[in-house]
Amino acid sequence: MLAVVPPPITVRAPAKVNLHLGVGDLRDDGYHDLVTVFQALSLTDEVTVAVADEPGVEVYGEGADAVPTGPSNLVWRAVQALARHVGRDPDEPKVRVVINKGIPVAGGMAGGSADAAATLVGLASLWRLDIGRDELGDVAATIGSDVPFCLHGGNALGTGRGERLVPVLSRHSFHWVLALARRGLSTPTVFQEMDRIRSEGRPPRIGTVEPVLEALASGDPRQLALLLGNDLQAAAVSLRPTLRRTLRAGVDAGALAGIVSGSGPTCAFLCESAASAVQVAAELSGAGVCRTVRVAQGPVPGAKTVQREEQP
Ligand code: C5P
């Protein structure tokens, strides 16, 4: 009897921006304790997982050339981690993963983590696993600090390495313009630069997280704009001084505030409304301070299967 091969599954997963990224001291395990507020944005990657005799990863779209397809790709780590978790052979996974990138690569927006989260959701369905979101979240945390949030989506308060999440409610949609850079920045390098800057003095750290949570709950973008903060921003700007000009240009173009997204170099600008975001994007793209711009809104859901009729 012929075995029935399940059809491929496509999953969409969101980018993130950190509305608040408070970074603590370096831990013994090489990570930093974080207090962060994530928001998932409508800038997404699509990942298709399929049963295949020849396992592998293919990458298309935004910045695909810069994405490794070998074992260092987080998608591959996701395949192996889930296989191990459910007692399959992690070295013979017999799956092919095709990534369509919409999220900038090495941009500080968790693009690789989104792909890993999408892969977990896709494989859970492809392998017909009886596995809940919480259990999938535990596997996600072993792959990377941002992977649980990409699974979760919405708004969330993250602690630990960023992997311990508590949902945060907001009734409002926020409108963003993202300025994408020509070259990415390496996350470990940015954390190291922050440690170096701190070792030379006592640079100011961002304030407490509570007011950010209140601003999110109020839904007032003006209130939130005043509170956006990122302890990695000075390090990203130190490594890529042109970001200073990008940040200024977004505010000059009419954004309420601008911030480096995560470890950068993408700059995220919070705008008053959808119409304002379109206007800011148009002006910013003419200012010559970034490779390209995108408009996005948040929060959006986490990694989610694309409905069958939408499947390619
Ligand atoms: O967890 P993830 O693999 O995404 O982290 C990439 C790198 O970013 C880590 O190896 C570490 O250098 C840095 N990092 C950190 N503290 C965190 C998260 C990431 O120092 N909380």
35 vs 91, residue with greater confidence: 35
Q: Look at residue 260 and tell me if it is in a domain.
A: yes
Catalytic annotation present for 16: yes
How, if at all, do strands 32-51 and 304-305 pair? unpaired
Count Cβ atoms below 10 Å from residue 53 Cβ, excluding itself: 6
How, if at all, do strands 229-230 and 9-26 pair? parallel
Report percent pLDDT > 90 for the chain: 91
Give residue 20 CA to ligand 1 midpoint distance, Å.
17
- Here the tokens at position 88 are 């399959």
Q: Which of 168, 203, 218 is the last residue of a domain?
A: 168
Same domain, 106 and 185: no
How, if at all, do strands 304-305 and 229-230 pair? unpaired
Q: Look at residue 309 and tell me if it is in a domain.
A: no
Same domain, 232 and 211: yes
Cβ atoms of residues 111 and 103 within 8 Å: yes
Same domain, 121 and 203: no
Same domain, 33 and 136: yes
Helix ranges (H only) for 8-86 are 74-85
Same domain, 187 and 263: yes
Q: Look at residue 303 and tell me if it is in a domain.
A: no
Give residue 145 CA to ligand 1 midpoint distance, Å.
7
- Here the tokens at position 188 are 């470990």
Q: Which of 121, 138, 168 is the last residue of a domain?
A: 168
Give residue 310 CA to ligand 1 midpoint distance, Å.
35
Same domain, 230 and 268: yes
- Here the tokens at position 226 are 């005043």
Same domain, 124 and 34: yes
pLDDT tier at 312 (50, 70, 90 boundaries)? low
Same domain, 141 and 238: no
Same domain, 143 and 222: no
Q: Which of 168, 191, 207 is the last residue of a domain?
A: 168
User: Ligand 1 pocket, 22 CB below 6 A?
Assistant: no
Q: Look at residue 305 and tell me if it is in a domain.
A: no
The range of the structural domain enclosing residue 250 comes to 174-298
Same domain, 114 and 204: no
Q: What residues are paired with 298 via a beta bridge?
A: 174
Q: What is the CATH number of the domain that holds 148?
A: 3.30.230.10
Q: Look at residue 214 and tell me if it is in a domain.
A: yes
Same domain, 103 and 67: yes
Same domain, 99 and 213: no
- pLDDT tens sequence across 227-263: 999 999 999 999 999 999 999 999 999 999 999 999 9
Q: Which of 147, 187, 194, 232, when mutated, tests ligand 1's pocket best, judged by the most ligand atoms within 8 Å of its CB?
A: 187
Cβ atoms of residues 250 and 243 within 8 Å: no
Q: Look at residue 212 and tell me if it is in a domain.
A: yes
Cβ atoms of residues 13 and 150 within 8 Å: yes
- Here the tokens at position 180 are 């994408």
- pLDDT tens sequence across 141-172: 999 999 999 999 999 999 999 999 999 988 79
- pLDDT tens sequence across 261-302: 999 999 999 999 999 999 999 999 999 999 999 999 999 999
Shortest CA distance to 110 belongs to which of 182, 38, 195?
Answer: 38
